[in-house]
């Protein structure tokens, strides 16, 4: 599943299928970290406060509203 997701003007160009059901941190269109919840993800040292965090749907047909 290669997905382009839009949040404002930002795009995710990485394949999100390995992250289904997880939260991801995105910087410059690339996933830089993942975790099962947003608090754990935000606490990771590689995640900056300016990174976008969102939940990747567990099913490809799911709709994610941001």
Q: What is the pLDDT of residues 5-51, one digit of tens each?
A: 444 556 788 899 999 999 999 999 999 999 999 999 999 999 999 99
- How do the domains of the chain map onto residue ranges? 6-55
Which pTM was predicted?
0.73
The predicted structure's pLDDT at residue 12: 84
User: Which candidate, 10, 1, 2, places its Cα nearest to that of 66?
Assistant: 10
Query: What whole-number distance in Å separates Cα of residue 46 and Cα of residue 60?
Result: 27
What are the CA-CA distances from residue 54 to residues 3, 20, 21, 41, 64 (Å)? 14, 11, 10, 10, 9
**End-to-end Cα distance, the chain:** 19
Residue partners of 17: CB distance under 8 A and separation at least 6 = 1, 60
């Amino acid at each position: 599943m290669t997905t382009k997701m839009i949040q404002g003007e930002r795009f995710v160009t990485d394949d999100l299928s390995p992250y289904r059901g997880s939260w991801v941190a995105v910087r410059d269109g690339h996933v830089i970290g993942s975790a099962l919840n947003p608090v754990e993800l935000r606490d990771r040292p590689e995640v900056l406060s300016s990174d976008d965090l969102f939940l990747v749907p567990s099913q490809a047909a799911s709709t994610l509203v941001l």
